[in-house]
Amino acid sequence: MSEIEAILFDEKTIERRARELAAAISKDYAGRELVLVCILKGAVVFTADLMRYLSIPTTIEFIQASSYGDAAVSSRMITMKKDIDVDVKGKDVLLVDCIIDTGDTMAYVMERFREKGPASLEAVVLLDKKPRRRVDVAVKYIGYEIPDRFVVGYGLDYAQQYRCLPYIAALTPGAE
C-alpha cells in the first residue's frame, strides 16, 4: 500500500480557500442562477463544500469523466460514464473538479458542454498542476497551484483509496 509522504493542505486551509472561491463565484454570478456540474468522483467533496458556501441560487448536476482509472498516470483516454440529464441551454454552467493536470479531461468536458449551448461556461478547480499541462484550457477559479506530485485526499484517490482523508496529501514517490 502507498504511504502518505506529506500533508500539503490541511482541513482549515482547504475550508478557507473554498470559502474564498465561493465568495468570488457568488459575486461574479450575483443575480443569476448557476448550474454547478460536479465531475465525479474526485470533485464530490469539493463541490459539497463549495455549494454550501455560495450565497446565490444554484442547482447541481453530476457527470463522470476520467482519464486515470486505477492508475497514477493519466491514460489520456477520456471516458464519460455519466452525463447530465437536464438541458443547460441558455444557463450559466460552472464545471467543478478537484484537480487539473494534463488538461485532457477538462478540455474534453468543456467541449461537450459548449455543444449544449450554455449562456456561459466556466470551471473551478481546487488544485492546478501546471507542470503536467498538455492542453491549454482556461480555468477561471483556481484554489491552489501545486507541483508535479501525486496527491490524494479530500475526494482525490489512488486506486479508489484515500478519498475520505479530510486533507490533501502527497504519496511517497514510487509508492503509487
Q: What residues are labeled active site?
A: 101
CA distance 96 to 131: 21
- Beta strands 151-152 and 92-100: pairing type? unpaired
CA distance 81 to 166: 26
CA distance 134 to 155: 23
C-alpha pair distances (Å), 106 with each of 11, 14, 45, 169: 25, 22, 18, 22
CA distance 67 to 79: 7
Q: Is 155 left (phi over 0), alpha (psi -120 to 50) or beta?
A: left
Residues with Cβ within 8 Å of 24's Cβ and at least 6 positions away in sequence, in order, are 141
